[in-house]
Amino acid sequence: MDLILILIGALLMIVGLLGSFLPVLPGVPVSWLGLLVLHLAPSIPMNYWLLGITLVIAVSIYSLNLMIPAMGTKRFGGSRAGMIGATIGLVVGLIAPIPFGVLIGPFVGAFVGEIVNKSSSRSALKAAFGSFLGFLASSFMEFVIAFAFLLLFIYKVWDYKELIAF
């Protein structure tokens, strides 16, 4: 039973790590599920504080991941309409069946939002670029946390390797 749960947890950790780059997968929440599955193994002692703190981190990072592209739009001179457009573009990009929709969506959404707000195409493009940079920053942040969760997973498995029933 331990080995199956550890393998499922390891698979979730790898999928979570890939999800930090692949926009269709929520990387950090999937990595957290890997930690949860690991702690369901009978040989690994349950640490509720660790799970609670990592859950708060996972939810916070996931929320920030959705907000940072809009914040990047604002930082590069975008208006409220550009921020709303970037957020709508992100949601549409998540749903759209096109490849790289989450990359393209916030960019196009911020651009359209700024054009509708009667901004020049130059300032609209600058705001859209800010949205793209925000997306890259949030992906990097998500990768760092997913990698930290992976290291924590490896540490816990290594620490209790004598107790695990193979």
Mean pLDDT of 84-91: 79
Distance of CA 36 to the CA centre of its chain: 18
pLDDT band at 82 (very low <50, low <70, confident <90, very high): confident
Confidence (pLDDT) at 147: 95
Sign of the torsion angle spanned by Cα atoms 71, 77, 82, 84: positive
- The tens digit of pLDDT for each residue in 126-147 reads 877 887 787 778 888 999 999 9
Q: In this structure, how many other beta carbons lie within 10 angstroms of the beta carbon of residue 36?
A: 14
Which residue reads 């790590």 in tokens? 17
Which residue reads 């550890």 in tokens? 6
Which residue reads 């859950």 in tokens? 55
Confidence (pLDDT) at 14: 94
Sign of the torsion angle spanned by Cα atoms 149, 154, 159, 162: positive
- The tens digit of pLDDT for each residue in 90-110 reads 778 878 777 677 778 878 888
pLDDT band at 28 (very low <50, low <70, confident <90, very high): very high
Give burial (CB, 10 Å; 0-12/13-18/19+) of 91.
middle
pLDDT at 4 over 80: yes
| Whether the model pTM is above 0.85 | no
The mean pLDDT value of the chain amounts to 84
Mean pLDDT of 22-39: 87
